[in-house]
Chains A and B, each alone.
Chain A
Amino acid sequence: MTDIRAGTFEGAAGRPAGAERERERVEAENRRLAEERKKIVRDGPKLKGAKLAARLETAWRRPPGIIGWLATVDHKEIGRRYIITALAFLALGGVLALLMRIQLARPDSALIGAERYNQLFTMHGSTMMFLFAVPVMEGVAVYIIPLMLGTRSTAFPRLNAFSYFMYLFGGLMLWVAFALNVGPDVGWFAYTPLSGPEFTPGKRADVWAQMITFTEVSALAAAVVLVCTILKTRAPGMTLARMPLFAWAMLVQACMIIFAMPAVALCSSMLISDRTIGTNFYNAAEHGDALLWQHLFWFFGHPEVYIIFIPATGFVSVLCETFCRRPVFAHAVVVLALISTGILAFGLWVHHMFATGLPRVGYSFYTSASMSVSIPTGLQIFCWLATIWDGRPRFQVPMLYVVGFIITFVIGGLTGVIVAAVPLDLQLHDTYFVVAHFHYVLIGGAVFPLLGILTYWYPKITGRMMSETLGKIGFWLVFLGFQLAFFPMHWSGLLGMPRRVYTYPAGLGLEVPNLLSTIGAFVVALAVGLFVINAMVSLYRGAIAGPNPWGAASLEWATSSPPPVYNFEHVPVVESNTPLWDLDGELPVVTGLRVDQKEMLLTTVVAATPDLREPVPEPSLWPFISAVAVGIVFIASIFSPWAIAVGIIPCAIALTAWFWPKELKRHPEPVIS
Chain B
Amino acid sequence: MILEPRFTDDLADLPTFKFGPSSLTWWGVVGFMVIEGAGFALAFAAYFFIMGHEQGWPPEGRVAPDVLAGTLFTIIILLSEIPNTIVKKAANAGDIAAIRRLLPVMVGVGVVLLIIRAFEFNSLNCRWTDDAYSSIIWALLLLHTGHILTDWIDTVVLCGLMFTPVAYEGRRQVDVDENSMYWRYVWLLWIPIYLMIYWVPRL
Task: Decide: A611 and B14 in contact? CB cutoff 8 A.
Answer: yes
Task: Decide: B35 and A585 in contact? CB cutoff 8 A.
Answer: no
Partner of A287 from B35, B133, B153, B161 at Cβ < 8 Å: B133
Partner of A2 from B15, B132, B153 at Cβ < 8 Å: B15
Choose, from B24-32, B111-119, B190-198, the stretch at the interface: B24-32
Supposing A7-B94, A612-B17, A666-B169 touch, asked if A259 and B132 sit within 8 A by C-beta, the answer is: no
Task: Decide: A559 and B136 in contact? CB cutoff 8 A.
Answer: no
Partner of A292 from B38, B46, B128 at Cβ < 8 Å: B46
Residues of A within 8 A of B7 (CB): 44-45, 570, 589-591
Interface size class of B (residues with CB under 8 A): 35 or more
Residues of B within 8 A of A664 (CB): 164-166
| CA–CA, A602 and B8, complex, Å | 17
Task: Decide: B16 and A2 in contact? CB cutoff 8 A.
Answer: yes
Interface flag for A283 (CB, 8 Å): yes
Q: Closest CB-CB distance, B91 to chain A, in whole Å?
A: 11
* Majority-rule SS of A interface residues: mixed
| CA–CA, A155 and B129, complex, Å | 43
Task: Decide: A11 and B98 in contact? CB cutoff 8 A.
Answer: yes
| CA–CA, A255 and B153, complex, Å | 27
| Interface flags, A630-665, vs B, CB<8A=1, else 0 | 000000000000000000100010001001110011
Closest B residue to A571 by beta carbon equals: B11
Task: Decide: B130 and A286 in contact? CB cutoff 8 A.
Answer: yes
Task: Decide: B134 and A228 in contact? CB cutoff 8 A.
Answer: no
Chain A interface residue count, CB cutoff 8 Å, equals 95
Choose, from A169-177, A207-215, A261-269, the stretch at the interface: A261-269
Choose, from B47-55, B64-72, B75-83, B180-188, the stretch at the interface: B47-55
Interface flag for A670 (CB, 8 Å): yes
Residues of B within 8 A of A42 (CB): 12
Q: Closest CB-CB distance, A177 to chain B, in whole Å?
A: 26
Task: Decide: A270 and B35 in contact? CB cutoff 8 A.
Answer: no
Interface flag for A76 (CB, 8 Å): no
| CA–CA, A155 and B136, complex, Å | 36
| CA–CA, A354 and B98, complex, Å | 59
Supposing A19-B97, A279-B129, A289-B50 touch, asked if A155 and B28 sit within 8 A by C-beta, the answer is: yes
Residues of A within 8 A of B95 (CB): 7-11
Within 8 A of B (CB), among A545-591: 546-547, 558-560, 569-571, 573, 583, 585-591
Partner of B171 from A273, A283, A670 at Cβ < 8 Å: A670
Residues of chain B having any CB pair with chain A under 8 Å: 1-18, 21-24, 27-28, 31-32, 34-36, 38-39, 42-43, 45-46, 49-50, 53-54, 59, 90, 93-98, 101, 128-136, 138-139, 149, 153, 157, 161, 164-171, 173
Q: Can you pick out 9 interface pairs between chain A and chain B where the beta carbons lie within 8 Å of each other?
A: A1-B13, A224-B35, A232-B27, A288-B135, A289-B50, A295-B49, A590-B7, A660-B161, A670-B169
Residues of chain A having any CB pair with chain B under 8 Å: 1-2, 4-12, 19, 22, 26, 29, 42, 44-45, 48, 155-156, 159, 220, 223-224, 227-228, 231-232, 236, 258-263, 265-266, 270, 273, 277-281, 283, 286-289, 292, 295-296, 299, 546-547, 558-560, 569-571, 573, 583, 585-593, 601-602, 604-605, 610-615, 648, 652, 656, 659-661, 664-667, 669-670
